[in-house]
Structure 1
Amino acid sequence: MTDALTAGWEPAQPFMVRFDLFEPDPADTGRTRYSAVAPHWSAEAAERHVAMGFEAGWSAPADPSEAVAKRLAAGA
């Protein structure tokens, strides 16, 4: 995911590119490790993003996603 493009795929002044990663647990437990990484174009862009209050929301999708994954694993 990125904010480097606007509607119509027009280039924009970007803050970051976000990667959502789903990987097998290295301990081979059958579980999946989820991580999100958001590298920014510059330190200043990262600081602006934090100042805007986005940092707290970056991990917000993790808890609901975990709940859905547990329901799917349980066959619900």
Structure 2
Amino acid sequence: MGAREVLNKIKWAGKEKLGDVRITIIHRGAPENRREIHGKNIIELGSGFMKVMMPEGETYIPYHRIIKIEVCGEIRYEKKHANL
């Protein structure tokens, strides 16, 4: 199951909320080339990207840049070989 499917399952399954999600993405130039996004900042889950509100404004994050998805501390998705 890919990152998009995991996020959609959380969004539509009903038990958990996207607001409970913490997503780690590849973000060049950030410490360790990683950045965290909180689920409450997700605006839209598109077909190839997620639209999020960042401090610098709305931005589109392609799903292939997601390296980890956690819900309340439990890892639901982790990319095995993230090229950093």
Instruction: Pick the TM interval, shorter chain.
Output: under 0.3
Bigger Cα Rg: 1
Name the structure with the higher helix share: 1
* TM-score of the two chains, using structure 1 as the length reference: 0.24
Name the structure with the higher strand share: 2
Task: Work out which structure has the larger RCO, using CA pairs closer than 8 Å and 6 or more positions apart in sequence.
Answer: 2
* TM-score of the two chains, using structure 2 as the length reference: 0.22
